[in-house]
Amino acid sequence: MSAMIEIVGLGKWYGPTRVLTNCSTQVGKGEVVVVCGPSGSGKSTLIKCVNGLEPFQEGRISVDGVSVGDPKTDLPKLRARIGMVFQHFELFPHLSVIRNLTLPQIKVLHRSADEAKEKGKRLLERVGLAAHANKFPGQLSGGQQQRVAIARALAMEPIAMLFDEPTSALDPEMIQEVLDVMVALAREGMTMIVVTHEMGFARKVAHRVVFMDEGEIVEDAPTADFFVKPRSERARLFLSKILQH
Amino acid sequence: MFSNFDFDVIIRSLPYLFYQGMTFTLLLTALATLGGIILGTLLALMRLSGFALLTVPAAAYVNLMRSVPFVLMIFWFYFLVPYIGQWVTFSPRPMQVGAFASCLVTFTLFEAAFFCEIMRAGIQSISRGQVAAAQALGMTYPTVMSYVVLPQAFRNMVPVLLTQTIVLFQDTSLVYVISVTDFLGAASKVAQRDGRLVEMYLFAALVYFVISLAASRAVGLLQRHIAIIR
């Protein structure tokens, strides 16, 4: 597998506070990597560095051969090729569901309105929300909004997808519908980095699990190994806490 | 008590009051609001840009405008704009600027400072997550602003913007200082000519009151209509 996303020696500070220390990992094409760890461990910051939403001071990240930290890199152009799904969905509340899907296609990819709409409708159908195309985000449930957000990212035909705790803000009964979409996506061979506490999802589709604590990557192991015999004490402790039910 | 008042003077002067006076007042209000919102939004974007080269002049402008009496500004511009025009165009004589143009420039520049602060609050009311989401989709700064942030900021701020417009509508009466005839000016002229001060000023007050009240009610209705569904 060739590395689609490569993170080497990543370090980041917020002012004097160090939030990421020497993080290195890579994600191959078609690989699904779950990032987990206690809150405040830098998971979200790490994936926000991948598409340059967060600047970093040390190390380098390259996505499909393009260096993210290079000031000469056209970040908007790079970001258009990386889909991102946020904890709080971040649909544009003033636009209808279908407009949420077509606006970026038209403004960023310069697709025609008809083409964008066609594509948008197909993706809404795929996430099971075709009937809601003309509603506004505020009229949908959290799970539905997150599925729209995934469809919006997919409409850009990304080469990789980043998920930043996509189910953390959802009511328990809505988590599954979002995970189902993500599982289907993973099985189709999408390259994915998923920050999540959903260990069931990790077990099901992740190729590797990256465990972070205090801004460091403590463990980076194939999924089976991580769950069966985590090497670090911190990972063991974390797993025992979240898997006790 | 009203026995020796002549309310007929109002009827007789209605065409003059409304065709000349009110047309000027409304036109000035509408154009200055439009210009003020456009300029104010640009100022707000400057203030929020994070570049000292843009934030400092914008902040200085807003603070200057807000700390000078408006009447003084109207005066000042009326006498100064012809010379600025002369200077800019290298003309040998001061530029001919009509009273209306002068008022429009003054009101636009002055109101822009207030609209700037309103739009700034509006832009800041949009969560960083919205900006991040738009950026993550590959949108550039101008696209993020024009399609994601400003439309939402504008809608959130419509009530405040329109309330400011109502204040502006009332402030247009200050053009009397440069002898321009707005609605109040027209009423005032008739009042002095016919010696019917009480009648005319009562009527003028009533008209301002009715229009302002109706406008603020309309703002309330509009607000419910355009609110973003959350």
Nearest-CB residue to A76 (from B129, B140, B148)? B140
In A, which residues are within 8 Å of B143 by CB distance? 107-108
H or E segment and range at residue A13? strand A3-14
Looking at residue B14, its pLDDT comes to: 87
Cα separation, B14 vs B7, in Å, equals 11
B150 C-beta neighbours (distance < 10 Å), count? 18
Nearest-CB residue to B130 (from A90, A107, A139)? A90
| B147 contacts chain A (CB < 8 A) | yes
Chain CA centroid to CA A181, Å: 13
Mean pLDDT of chain A: 93
| A99 contacts chain B (CB < 8 A) | no
Cα separation, B29 vs A172, in Å, equals 53
- pLDDT beneath 50: ranges in chain B: none
Residues sharing a CB contact under 8 Å with residue A83, sequence separation 6 or more, in sequence order: A150, A153, A154, A156, A158, A160, A161, A162, B136
* Residue B202 structure tokens: 């009562």
User: Is the pLDDT score of A245 beyond 90?
Assistant: no
Question: What does the DSSP 8-state code read for residue A134?
Answer: T
Residue A54 amino acid letter: E
Dihedral in degrees, nearest 10, Cα atoms A137, A140, A145, A147: -130
Question: What does the DSSP 8-state code read for residue A57?
Answer: S
Nearest-CB residue to B151 (from A94, A107, A108)? A94
* Residue B47 structure tokens: 């203030």
Looking at residue B195, its pLDDT comes to: 86
User: Is the pLDDT score of A193 beyond 60?
Assistant: yes
* Residue A101 structure tokens: 């899907």
| B126 contacts chain A (CB < 8 A) | no
Cα separation, A153 vs A104, in Å, equals 9
pLDDT tens sequence across A72-109: 999 999 999 999 999 999 999 999 999 999 999 999 99
In B, which residues are within 8 Å of A149 by CB distance? 133
Query: In this complex, do A82 and B137 lie within 8 Å of one another by their Cβ atoms?
Result: no
In A, which residues are within 8 Å of B148 by CB distance? 92
Looking at residue B84, its pLDDT comes to: 84
H or E segment and range at residue B41? helix B23-47
* Residue B153 structure tokens: 């900021």
Closest CA to B117 of B37, B29, B226: B37
- Cα angle for residues B161, B144, A103 (degrees, 5° grid): 105
A243 C-beta neighbours (distance < 10 Å), count? 10
Looking at residue B1, its pLDDT comes to: 56
Count of residues making up chain A: 245
Q: Quote the pTM value.
A: 0.88
Phi, psi of B99 (to 5 degrees): -60, -40
Looking at residue A135, its pLDDT comes to: 95
* Residue B29 structure tokens: 């209000």
* Residue A141 structure tokens: 């449930």
| Percentage of chain A exceeding pLDDT 90 | 88
| B230 contacts chain A (CB < 8 A) | yes
Cα separation, B83 vs B89, in Å, equals 10
CB B47 within 8 A of CB B120: yes
Residues sharing a CB contact under 8 Å with residue B82, sequence separation 6 or more, in sequence order: B94, B95, B96, B97
In A, which residues are within 8 Å of B229 by CB distance? 93, 136-139
Residues sharing a CB contact under 8 Å with residue A159, sequence separation 6 or more, in sequence order: A4, A63, A64, A81, A82, A191
Q: In Å, how far are A38, B127, B135, B140 from B131, measured between CA atoms? A: 26, 7, 6, 10
Cα separation, A147 vs A127, in Å, equals 6
Count of residues making up chain B: 230
